Chain A
Amino acid sequence: MTARMAHLSRLLSAGLAAVLVISGCTGERSDGDDKPPAQDALVLAPGQTRHHVGTSFQYGQFLATVGDSVYDENTKKFYLAVRFQNIGDGWAEPYVPAHLTTASVPSITLNPDEFRRVPPLVVQTVTYVGDSVETDPTPDGRVTFGPPDRDQPVIALDPAQESTLFLSRPQELNGWLQIGKYAVNVRRARVLAGQLSNNQQAEAGQRILRLDFDVYCNRYDPVGGFFPAEHLILAAPGGDQPQETIGASEGFAPRSWTVSTGNWVEFVVPADYAGTYTLLLSSVNTGGFTLHPELIERVALPITLEDGEPEPVAKADPALPRLPTPAPTASSQPSPAEPEPLDVDLKSGAMNVPGFTYTPTRLHYDPAAQTAVVEGDAVYIESDNSTGDGLLDTPPQFGFNANLVSRGRLYNGSITGNSVVARQGSTPITITFLSVTELDPADLGLVIGTGTGPAATLPLGPRSPVIADPPPISGGAVSAPQVTAGDWSIQLLSYRVGHLHQVRRIRPGQRELELKLKVSASASAKAKGLGLIFRPAGQVFLLSSGGYLTQALADGGIGDFEPGQTHVLTVTFAVPDAFTPGLLGVTVRGGDEITDIFTNSFAEVTFPAELAPSTSDPDLADLTGDQS
């Protein structure tokens, strides 16, 4: 019998009147099977009645699922469980006020137990509690979410009655715009209830139009760059005054003949949004000082939005785990039985947090102090050119946001003691979680991230609601010819795939592909103004559609050469989570346009690179070192 089962048994034998949470969650990814995961029965106290609501809606950057409700006729309390799943770009708190109305009661505030900052793809289950509810509100009750100045979903507690809610409406769109040096391919359009970028629900009477697009650039701009918020505006049907974005991906400086994916913009559209809009693209930057902005010319792409059908919840994002119906918990009530202390080994393996691997090894839980401690070992995996000996070198710091997940709740943690990680070997790291009111080792999960981008998650128990994400770091050898471009001779050596850098530049659903290369300067190379420099992120590209090149995210540092000298360097690209090693086209340029802005020609060589099948060596130490 597990500790959790024993705990239940004790409660039942004592005949205690309490609402218990039973969070039977599984950590499996969706595989197309619509059958919900297995779920335990909710144990009800005398006088309690459970109802199933089962409705989903979008609020801000969360997909909210109203699960079950419980009415307690003895205490006149009403409990409602809502699971908030972060479908947005970054960490956010699902702060959504709610109130209950019935035919006889104008408004009762439903108080949530707590809200936490939740990383992308992770869920938090919140129980709303209403006091002084004289009768079971299910037959005619409605719950309104959010403040009046925002678009408010109104959920009927009786599933047979109609609710007022909004889910993402995907739109058919694959359009092109081209002007000057830029071409934009809009590949995806969605009408949303809120912004995925900053967790803002649309104002009352409005929706959000989000467009995802790629940018092709045929000429590097040494002064400006492509800023989605400046280059794209939207004209409403019949409107003569285009509007600017209310959210957009970051600007960037694309080099010549490159393609940049993963860009997005968000516009406000009316709630009755159907119609033909016009997306306008300019080639020049429109921000800052512009003498005659009215003379900036643009090209137009008509975008027809239709009412359409909402996106099925189960298919909102294939990366999201499937979860059972949320059940409420009376977390505000003191537990009638004292949970037992825990001191157990953890054998869930390693998780790949940005720039490190972390292997939790032991869990201590002190219910009296409401403190949980996770011990583990961290290994630094980031590739850089630092030896750690320089005056300005700082040692790697294991500085992350950490959460322990149990029973649908998230508990904040912090690193206690040493957070400096050795550049070689493993370093013990301890994370302490406070105010842990209840902890079930069977459904335990660990979440660690930078607080801005996607987080690493690791199930610690067999029924954890989190999945192991990202997959373990993998890598292997690269087979490629040695090539020469300008003064440089390049030989690719190896690759790694994972979350390899602490500074995050990738989005949810992406990983980093790092190539390690040996670069030699020719003996006859002549240094220029900045020296004899090879900048991997500006000179190594992946061959992409139409002969355009995918630009790197970053590199492990530039190489400062003497003629005839050789360095081993790294360069990093964003790839989808599903990336599998194989044959790639790699292009190397003899010069970098940023360091040599007056050169209008440069040598380019494109060659095949075969990435050997990956190995999941947790260290991959032989692939990270040798940064000479």
Chain B
Amino acid sequence: MMAALALPLAACSDKAPERPAPATTPSPTAQALPVICTPAGPTTIGGAKNINPYAAPGARQVPGPDMTDVPIPAEPVAVLMERPPDPDANVAARQPDGKPAGPVPSGPAPQLEDPACEQPATVGEAP
């Protein structure tokens, strides 16, 4: 049986912009834990630029034909995940105004290379 590991968690969110630099690949040691920022905003859908075939677990790719298998980490990898907002929230409230309910391509959580984990712009407006 492998040695027991209790891993601390590091957080990233748009409410706390000053954070340590996140890593994007698995790390074998607890001292260099990867931190995957999961921004709340929308992302481009289907573009290969969002695909990182060497992504760490937790760095969800954009679902699509370019999606790849994520390697199983050799050691535990801990992340603090933040859900994107529901792109369909308030759908019913918008409809009486005659505005369509979507689409609002939220996409899955991409990796951020920006150490500050700054978030993209607003969500929820129909195109």
A→B interface (CB under 8 Å):
174, 176, 178-181, 183, 185, 216, 218-221, 256-257, 282-284, 290-292, 295-299, 479-485, 489, 491, 543, 545-548, 583-585, 587, 589, 593, 600-608
For residue B115, CB closer than 8 A to chain A, the reply is: no
**Given A546-B61, A607-B75: A283 in contact with B81 (beta carbons within 8 A):** no
A297 to B70 CA separation, bound complex (whole angstroms): 32
A220 touches B73 (CB 8 A): no
**Given A221-B88, A600-B82, A608-B74: A482 in contact with B6 (beta carbons within 8 A):** yes
Number of residues on chain B facing chain A (CB within 8 A) = 60
**Given A176-B65, A183-B63, A543-B57: A481 in contact with B102 (beta carbons within 8 A):** no
A36 to B81 CA separation, bound complex (whole angstroms): 56
Per CB-CB distance, the 4 closest pairs between chain A and chain B, nearest first, are A606-B57, A183-B63, A482-B4, A546-B67
| Cross-interface CB contact of B88 among A181, A256, A491, cutoff 8 Å | A181
Q: Which residues of B contact A606 (CB under 8 A)?
A: 57-58, 72-73, 76-77, 79
A547 touches B57 (CB 8 A): yes
For residue B119, CB closer than 8 A to chain A, the reply is: no
A283 to B73 CA separation, bound complex (whole angstroms): 32
Instruction: Across the interface, name the chain A residue whose C-beta is closest to B51.
Output: A546
A219 touches B84 (CB 8 A): yes
B81 touches A292 (CB 8 A): no
B78 touches A180 (CB 8 A): no
A216 to B59 CA separation, bound complex (whole angstroms): 14
Instruction: Across the interface, name the chain B residue whose C-beta is closest to A178.
Output: B45
A546 touches B103 (CB 8 A): no
B79 touches A604 (CB 8 A): yes
A307 to B62 CA separation, bound complex (whole angstroms): 34
A180 to B5 CA separation, bound complex (whole angstroms): 37
For residue B13, CB closer than 8 A to chain A, the reply is: yes
A178 touches B46 (CB 8 A): yes
**Given A176-B65, A601-B83: A283 in contact with B102 (beta carbons within 8 A):** yes
Give 1 or 0 for each of B66-98: 1 = CB within 8 Å of chain A CB: 011110111111111111111110011001101
For residue B1, CB closer than 8 A to chain A, the reply is: yes
Interface core residue of A290, A299, A479, A607 (most chain B CB under 10 Å): A607
B106 touches A295 (CB 8 A): no
A484 to B77 CA separation, bound complex (whole angstroms): 10
Seed contacts A176-B63, A219-B85, A585-B73; 6 additional CB < 8 Å A-B pairs: A178-B63, A180-B87, A180-B88, A481-B1, A482-B2, A543-B72
**Given A174-B65, A221-B88, A608-B73: A603 in contact with B80 (beta carbons within 8 A):** yes
**Given A178-B105, A483-B5: A602 in contact with B92 (beta carbons within 8 A):** no
Q: Which residues of B contact A602 (CB under 8 A)?
A: 80-81
**Given A481-B4, A547-B61: A607 in contact with B101 (beta carbons within 8 A):** no
Q: Which residues of B contact A543 (CB under 8 A)?
A: 57, 70, 72
Q: Which residues of A contact B96 (CB under 8 A)?
A: 291-292
B92 touches A290 (CB 8 A): yes
Interface core residue of A547, A600, A605 (most chain B CB under 10 Å): A547
Min C-beta distance of B42 to chain A, whole Å: 10
**Given A257-B60, A585-B73, A604-B78: A176 in contact with B100 (beta carbons within 8 A):** no
Min C-beta distance of A213 to chain B, whole Å: 12
B102 touches A176 (CB 8 A): no
| Cross-interface CB contact of A481 among B3, B84, B98, B100, cutoff 8 Å | B3
Interface core residue of A180, A548, A593 (most chain B CB under 10 Å): A180
Q: Which residues of B contact A299 (CB under 8 A)?
A: 103
Q: Which residues of A contact B21 (CB under 8 A)?
A: none
| Cross-interface CB contact of B106 among A181, A220, A547, A585, cutoff 8 Å | A181
